[in-house]
Amino acid sequence: EPEVTQTPSHQVTQMGQEVILRCVPISNHLYFYWYRQILGQKVEFLVSFYNNEISEKSEIFDDQFSVERPDGSNFTLKIRSTKLEDSAMYFCASESRYQETQYFGPGTRLLVL
Amino acid sequence: GNSVTQMEGPVTLSEEAFLTINCTYTATGYPSLFWYVQYPGEGLQLLLKATKADDKGSNKGFEATYRKETTSFHLEKGSVQVSDSAVYFCALQPPLFFQGAQKLVFGQGTRLTINP
């Protein structure tokens, strides 16, 4: 069964460093999302992406964040200068053109020291 | 705006007990409704969904019915097992009025622990 994959599974970084979180969505899916979950809290929407552009972004998704789909398969989330409060689990999700269900990857746990 | 409210957790039950986790929502129009489950150390997995009023989603013995009149989507299971211990998230996706990605809006999650 096709699945969404994410790398790395864990990342530890120093405050102020750049991180890139990678996702490989399910093949032929057209809609892509990033969410995050701070430990013990609810899952929050960050950004959605369709037709090679951002569809919607939340207040969390400020100028330090960017997304890219560089090669038609990978979908990346970049944080340019990490802050302590960026520590969270980051989930990628993808959805087919029928938009029936979002399928989530296993997540990347980011720890900013 | 769109929002989802779940019952406060954590919930602790004995094996074979009946489970209800309440979920209510606020939305414009007719959203799609979902339950996702997060097992310890893992990501989010779709448990079940319903896309229109009076639909019942079901999977692995869990059920939830889309109630427009009470704006609810309560999760139920007749006899829980230790392996059902996880965090359960109720979520909605707004109606697809336009072509474009539509985010999920999640409730705060309910941690369920089943004791043998």
Model confidence pLDDT, tens digit, residues A29-68: 999 999 999 988 889 999 999 988 999 999 999 999 999 9
Query: Which residue has better confidence, A40 or A78?
Result: A78
- Token reading at A29: 């899916």
Q: Which residues are CB-neighbours of B24 under 8 A, at least 6 positions away?
A: B4, B5, B70, B71, B72, B73
Most A CBs within 10 Å, among B42, B96, B103, to test the A interface = B103
* B44 close to A (CB below 8 A): yes
pLDDT level of residue B111 (50, 70, 90 thresholds): very high
In sequence order, what DSSP letters do the residues of chain A get, joined into one string?
----EEE-SEEEE-TT--EEEEEEPPTT--EEEEEEE-TTS-EEEEEEEETTEEEEE-TT--TTEEEE--SSS-EEEEESS--GGG-EEEEEEEE-TT---PEE---EEEEE-
Q: Is the pLDDT of residue A14 over 70?
A: yes
Which residues on chain B are in Cβ contact (under 8 Å) with A104? Answer: 36, 43-46
Q: Which residues are CB-neighbours of B27 under 8 A, at least 6 positions away?
A: B2, B3, B71, B92, B94
Q: Is the pLDDT of residue A26 over 80?
A: yes
For the residues A4-33, what does the mean pLDDT come to?
95
Which residues on chain A are in Cβ contact (under 8 Å) with B92? Answer: none
Q: Is the pLDDT of residue A20 over 90?
A: yes
Which residues on chain A are in Cβ contact (under 8 Å) with B57? Answer: none
Of A55, A91, A95, which has the smallest distance from its Cβ to B43's Cβ? A91
Identify the CA nearest to B22 among candidates B36, B37, B2, B7: B7
Binary contact (A104, B106; C-beta < 8 A): no
Q: What percent of chain A has pLDDT over 90?
A: 81
* Predicted local distance difference test score (pLDDT) of residue B98: 61
Q: pLDDT tens digits, residue range B38-86?
A: 998 788 999 999 999 999 999 999 999 999 999 999 999 999 999 999 9
In sequence order, what DSSP letters do the residues of B49-86 get, joined into one string?
EE-STT-EEEETTEEEE-BTTTTB--EEESS--GGG-E
Average pLDDT over chain B, rounded to an integer: 92
For the residues A14-28, what does the mean pLDDT come to?
96
Q: Is the pLDDT of residue A9 over 90?
A: yes
Q: Is the pLDDT of residue B97 over 70?
A: no
